[in-house]
């Protein structure tokens, strides 16, 4: 918003009223706020409630974050180029991050496990440490089944996980805002093992606050030589998805048959090449076995394990977009609490506000919104 003073919330709202061309009384009426309350708020004698700020932001096409701080967001300058898959990913991450920042303002920042300081120096050792920390909080490795992985990340670490359609050229990214939003985004894919590895890889970047804001992986399988954060993220993903203890349980016999190997590929939902290298590094497989088994395709393993139906369902699931379900729930709860309007949730879901209102208020009677909960700027 050009020409709008940025010193305080009150000054910014005054500027918006001037730009609207409305009288103060008419502007207040348009957002459901009587002129007396609006006048007191503009003069610093009362605080704007969170719901009032949400209505002002909605009416004037600005964000609550801008009203509070004058800050349009750290990623905004990086999303101006249209068409690029990377820019598509950044733009979507910025949108989701803004939604989460608004929730943080309305409901506060949820507790998250704090990533411990590393005790070791080498990247692969730090990746191991980080995976041990993550598994302690995630619990049983079975929670890492593809249908549960994203939900588990949201539940345990409070990060928003999205799967979006991109036109190739970007596997995923990790985004952090100054307000506290943490977004993990991966591309839809017909290659579910790569998608799953990418999700684990980006989780490492978020846990380590790599790049302190935005980390984009155009090709998560590219060479990582010399890049500490990438080497650590890859080591983390390998240790998280293929824990050493689990592999030692699955491969107790000295010889590894194709059937045993294929069963493990389908159970762990990893690529044959990744599993073969992991077994070699743990000295559970010989170089010759690594070459032979690593040359199999995932579909070959599905056939050998009699899991073709599972494989087909897994591939289909990887092609489906995913909206961060925790973010949906939090925005809806903020609406039920009377702290915001329906528009943020409607925007997140990509549906018209009126359609959403009919869906959740079938009686046609709006849910009462309390304005008692007021926030200091």
pLDDT at 63: 75
Average pLDDT on 231-253 reads 94
**When comparing pLDDT for 373 and 218, which is higher?**
218
Of all residues in the chain, what percent carry a pLDDT higher than 90? 53
pLDDT at 70: 67
* pLDDT bracket for residue 153 (50, 70, 90): very high
- Tens digits of per-residue pLDDT, 124-137? 999 999 999 999 99
Average pLDDT on 190-196 reads 93
Reply yes or no on whether the pLDDT at 226 is more than 80.
no
Average pLDDT on 168-172 reads 85
pLDDT at 133: 97
- Asked which of 46-55, 141-150, 280-289, 296-305 is least confident by mean pLDDT, the reply is 141-150
Average pLDDT on 315-324 reads 94
Distance between CA atoms of residues 109 and 103, nearest Å: 8
- Tens digits of per-residue pLDDT, 60-103? 877 777 787 766 443 332 333 345 788 888 889 989 998 999 89
Distance between CA atoms of residues 337 and 320, nearest Å: 31
Quick one: angle between helices 228-241 and 192-208, nearest 10? 120
Distance between CA atoms of residues 12 and 35, nearest Å: 17
Average pLDDT on 238-260 reads 92
pLDDT at 4: 38
Between the alpha carbon of residue 27 and those of residues 63, 246, 340, the distances in Å are 17, 63, 18
Reply yes or no on whether the pLDDT at 114 is more than 50.
yes
**Which domains, and CATH codes, for the chain?**
9-73+342-360 (1.10.260.40), 85-241 (1.10.10.2910), 244-306 (no CATH)
Whether the full predicted model's pTM is greater than 0.85, yes or no, is no
Reply yes or no on whether the pLDDT at 13 is more than 70.
yes
- Average per-residue pLDDT for the chain: 85
pLDDT at 363: 58
Burial (CB < 10 A; 0-12, 13-18, 19+), residue 358, is: exposed
Reduced to 3 states (helix: H, G, I; strand: E, B; else coil), residue 163 is strand
Distance between CA atoms of residues 318 and 314, nearest Å: 6
Reply yes or no on whether the pLDDT at 164 is more than 60.
yes
- Asked which of 139-148, 232-241, 281-290 is least confident by mean pLDDT, the reply is 139-148
């Amino acid at each position: 918003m050009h020409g709008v003073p940025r010193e305080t919330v009150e000054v910014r709202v005054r500027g918006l009223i001037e730009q609207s061309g409305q009288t103060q009384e008419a502007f207040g009426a348009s957002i459901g706020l009587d002129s007396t309350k609006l006048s007191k708020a503009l003069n610093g004698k009362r605080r704007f409630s969170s719901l009032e700020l949400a209505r002002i932001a909605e009416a004037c096409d600005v964000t609550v974050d801008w009203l509070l701080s004058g800050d349009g967001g750290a990623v905004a300058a990086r999303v101006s180029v249209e068409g690029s898959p990377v820019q598509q990913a950044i733009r979507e991450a910025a949108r989701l991050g803004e939604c989460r920042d608004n929730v943080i303002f309305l409901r506060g920042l949820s507790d998250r496990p704090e990533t411990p300081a590393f005790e070791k120096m080498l990247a692969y050792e730090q990746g191991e440490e980080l995976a041990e920390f993550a598994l302690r909080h995630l619990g049983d490795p079975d929670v890492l089944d593809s249908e549960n992985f994203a939900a588990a990340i949201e539940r345990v670490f409070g990060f928003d996980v999205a799967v979006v359609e991109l036109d190739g050229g970007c596997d995923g990214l990790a985004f952090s805002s100054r307000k506290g939003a943490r977004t993990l985004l991966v591309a839809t894919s017909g290659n579910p093992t790569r998608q799953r590895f990418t999700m684990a890889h980006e989780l490492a970047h978020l846990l380590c606050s790599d790049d302190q804001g935005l980390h984009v992986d155009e090709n998560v399988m590219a060479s990582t030589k010399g890049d500490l954060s990438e080497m650590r993220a890859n080591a983390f993903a390998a240790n998280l998805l293929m824990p050493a203890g689990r592999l030692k349980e699955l491969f107790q016999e000295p010889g590894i048959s194709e059937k045993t190997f294929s069963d493990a590929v389908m159970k762990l939902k990893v690529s044959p090449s990744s599993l073969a290298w992991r077994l070699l590094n743990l000295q559970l497989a010989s170089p010759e076995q690594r070459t032979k088994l690593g040359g199999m395709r995932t579909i070959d393993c599905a056939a050998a394990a009699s899991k073709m139906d599972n494989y087909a369902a897994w591939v289909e699931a990887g092609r489906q977009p995913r909206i961060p379900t925790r973010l949906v729930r939090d925005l809806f709860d903020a609406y039920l609490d009377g702290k915001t309007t329906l528009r943020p949730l409607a925007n997140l879901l990509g549906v018209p506000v009126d359609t959403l209102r009919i869906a959740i208020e079938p009686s046609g009677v709006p849910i009462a919104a309390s304005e008692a909960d007021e926030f200091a700027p």
